[in-house]
Chain A
Amino acid sequence: MPTFTYMTRCDGCGECVDICPSDIMHIDTVYRRSYNIEPNFCWECFSCVKACPQHAIDVRGYADFAPLGHSVRVRREEASGTISWKIRYRDGREKLFSFPIRTTPWGSIKPPTEYVAPDADALNSPLLAHEPAALMVAALPTLPPFEPDMSSKSGG
């Protein structure tokens, strides 16, 4: 479902332009508001819809298979860590859903540099950062060195 922008709601802030992974939300030079410049490269990922502070972006299902009259609206709230969806069917039925999106405050991830620096032994071992503790098993599994035998065949 490609996106479109409601003329009366958009204030041209550019958040949608900044986020679209397909680089297809652009600001119209005459109206100073956003629009989808290439609907046939839209993945309906809703990244722009979720990012718009004015809720000015909506979607209309792809013309080649989606009959008119539906809507899928979303509100993503980082502060409360939830996303809510309102789905309206062509025949008018509605469904509401709400799901969690994150369990920790935004910005709270500890950068790797805040952990004690590893030593040279660890650098030359197969262990990755925080292992073996982060594996929650005693040790990183390993295999005996490989010995070529009948189980390998190159097939010519």
Chain B
Amino acid sequence: MGLFSSRKTHIVDTDILVIGGGFGGCGATYESRYWGRNLKVTLVEKANIERSGAVAHGLSAINCYMGMRWNENQPEDFVRYARGDLMGLVREDLIYDIARHVDSTVHLFEEWGLPIMKNPETGHYLREGKWQVMIHGESYKPIIAEAARKSASEVHNRIMVTHLLMDAAHPNRVAGAVGFNVRDGSFYVFRAKAVVVAAGGASHIFKPRSVGEGMGRTWYAPWSSASAYGLVLRAGAQMIQMENRIVLARFKDGYGPVGAWFLLLKALATNAYGERFEASMLEEMKALVGKYAEATPLPTCLRNHAVLQEIKAGRGPIYMHTQNAIDTREKEEIGWEDFLDMTVGQAVVWASQNIDPKEKPSELITSEPYVMGSHATCSGAWASGPEDCAPADYQWGYNRMTTVEGLFGAGDTIGGSAHKFSSGSFTEGRIAGKAAVRYVMALAGNTPRVDEAQIGQLREEIYRPLANYEIGRHEIVAGSVAPSYISPLHGLQRLEKIMDEYVGGISTLYMTSEPMLNRGQELLTMLKEDLDHIGADGLHQLQRTWELKHRVWTSEAVLRHTLYRQETRWPGYYYRGDFPKLDDAEWHAFTASRYDVKTGEWQMSKLPVHHIIA
């Protein structure tokens, strides 16, 4: 015990615990209250749900909406689209399930007060592209947070969740979670019958392009700390497609998204010489990935690949010709609102560099890689599918339950179902929330039991970085260099450098290979050991320490999956130099891993991809 034994402990008993109050978590909270009227539903969040997660700014579009009521699209169409974009490998049952429910979510958002733009001619929602609808979305997050607050029995803000708890009697059953209050340092023990993890994806796994003061200016939020994966994989949940990181072509430095510019405003991108380059590369892409290059629209990774080829050939910068796209005040407003609602930093880049998008083009560039499950990518936990239409080997109980009993997930947490975005993540939260209610009701009296020894051990581990600092700093006069500890930022920068240089980051133009990955693993192993020697000079740095640990644990999964898949499935996301082509005969499969926290071993395997939609 020692130094910090006077620390207060709060025990919270609940039926359903939702971890992370972003889009997935707010959806899970709303839905579990709807079905579980008498259950206790507790939402725990490391920030403040009013403005937490990837949607803190707001958003300018809802990227997943079918429009079944106007017969615009059907769920089957959406599955084909997501499958094409991910080069054939998606959980079609999960994607179908989201697509068939997502319209009801979006209609609910509109009823709650989210301003959705309308097409003046048809009266339908204004489409940005085939799947996206335009919104005035600055308050998107506060609106859904209001709904979540009204649904939860309790909302605990500013609790950083560090670990899941396991049932003392059934080692593969979840029993709650622990964490600490970032403000007063108290220790929190949540004892729950079911847990829904919706703690978001990962930025800052790979070294970002921005440096120094600007390093927080990543595309995905700097607070997307890989906790979704860090939590569930340490509980022994099977993970899939962790190699499937995403790289995005974005406005340079500001990371402004390109969707509204390409799809709605119809701006064109060219190389420095004004040439459109994508089409001319089609034959070369077919040689790499075969029929997958024939998908329309061209898969996201292949569009990156084309940009990269131009840059490598010295034909950059790549420009987005905004100046030809905004010829009216209305379009100028749409262009600016797109960023002011969702990436204000892009407006600052324009103002500071004297770029008026009406007059000048803006540079585009490919970002550093991110690990997530809700965008054009699908890393995450292997989950049970919908009872009425999932293949038999894709279901073992409740919808969106992981391979750990009672442990559910939503949004970035769940693997295999790409293109969920905000509306789909909320919808998946709803699906998981309802399933968790059914699970809890079926448990009846069979409540999980938490072992005191497990809690005591975690408590000691959680606060150790404070002691490391407190003790270690007496060895030195002042400053940040000490022989016995490193700061969380030091650890983060080491991680980013390893991942960048060995696992396919920007410095190798996303290239890696078996020897590089093996060397990366050696260095990562030493970083894992050094995680026991992080020194935190206060509660804020203690939060940074645990974010780092979640990132490191997740990174190891990324590395191991990348090593396991011996092909280049998604050129433009990353390349295996030793296996430069897509190989359907061997690798038309999901890569899967299971980590054993007791032995430290990883078990890799393949899982089958079933095509349930023609």
**B36-69 interface (Cβ within 8 A of A):** 37, 47-48, 50-53, 56-57, 68-69
- Whether B47 and A20, one on each chain, are in contact in the complex, defined by CB atoms closer than 8 angstroms, is yes
Tell me how far the C-beta of A52 lies from the nearest C-beta in chain B, rounded to whole angstroms: 13
Task: Give Cα A61 to B216, complex, Å.
Answer: 12
Q: How far is it, in angstroms, between the C-alpha of A46 and the C-alpha of B346 when the chains are bound?
A: 12
In A47-74, the 8 Å CB interface with B consists of 47, 59, 61-72
Q: How far is the CA of A99 from the CA of B107 in the complex (A)?
A: 21
Q: Is B540 engaged at the interface, CB distance under 8 Å to the other chain?
A: yes
CB of B307 within 8 Å of the partner chain? no
Asked whether B528 is an interface residue with its Cβ less than 8 Å from the other chain, the reply is no
CB distance from B436 to the nearest CB of A (A): 12
Separation of A128 and B113 alpha carbons in the complex (Å): 20
Measured CA separation A136–B104 after assembly (Å) = 8
Is A8 in the interface zone, CB < 8 Å from B? no
Residues A22 and B107 in contact in the complex (CB < 8 Å), given A65-B253, A93-B356: no
Q: What is the bound-complex CA distance between A148 and B568, given in angstroms? A: 27
Which residues 95-142 of B sit at the A interface, judged by CB distance below 8 A? 96-97, 100-101, 103-104, 107-108, 112-115, 136, 138-139
User: Shortest CB–CB separation between residue B475 and chain A, in angstroms?
Assistant: 25
A72 shortest CB reach to chain B, Å = 5
Q: List chain A residues, Cβ under 8 A from B585.
A: 155
**A46 adjacent to B57 (CB under 8 Å):** yes
Which residues on B sit within 8 Å (CB–CB) of A87?
A: 336, 347, 350-351
Q: A21-B48, A129-B31, A152-B610 are in contact. Are A102 and B69 (CB under 8 A)?
A: no
Q: With A23-B47, A128-B104, A141-B75 in contact, is A99–B214 under 8 Å at CB?
A: no
With contacts A23-B182, A68-B352, A146-B612 taken as known, whether A109 is within 8 angstroms of B112 at the C-beta atoms is yes
Q: Is the interface of A mostly helix, strand, loop or mixed?
A: loop
A145 to B386, CA, bound (A): 11
**How far, in Å, is B43 (CB) from chain A's closest CB?**
14
Q: Which of B144-152, B233-241, B259-267, B319-327 contacts A (4 or more CB under 8 A)?
A: B144-152
- Check: A28 CB closer than 8 A to any chain B CB: no
Known A41-B223, A99-B136, A136-B107; further 12 A-B contacts with Cβ < 8 A = A19-B48, A23-B543, A37-B540, A40-B215, A62-B210, A65-B349, A83-B340, A85-B340, A112-B30, A112-B34, A128-B434, A143-B389
23 A-B contacts (beta carbon < 8 Å): A19-B50, A21-B221, A22-B222, A24-B540, A44-B216, A44-B344, A59-B348, A63-B213, A66-B352, A70-B348, A70-B351, A72-B344, A88-B351, A99-B136, A99-B340, A118-B34, A128-B101, A129-B30, A129-B430, A131-B101, A142-B389, A146-B612, A155-B606
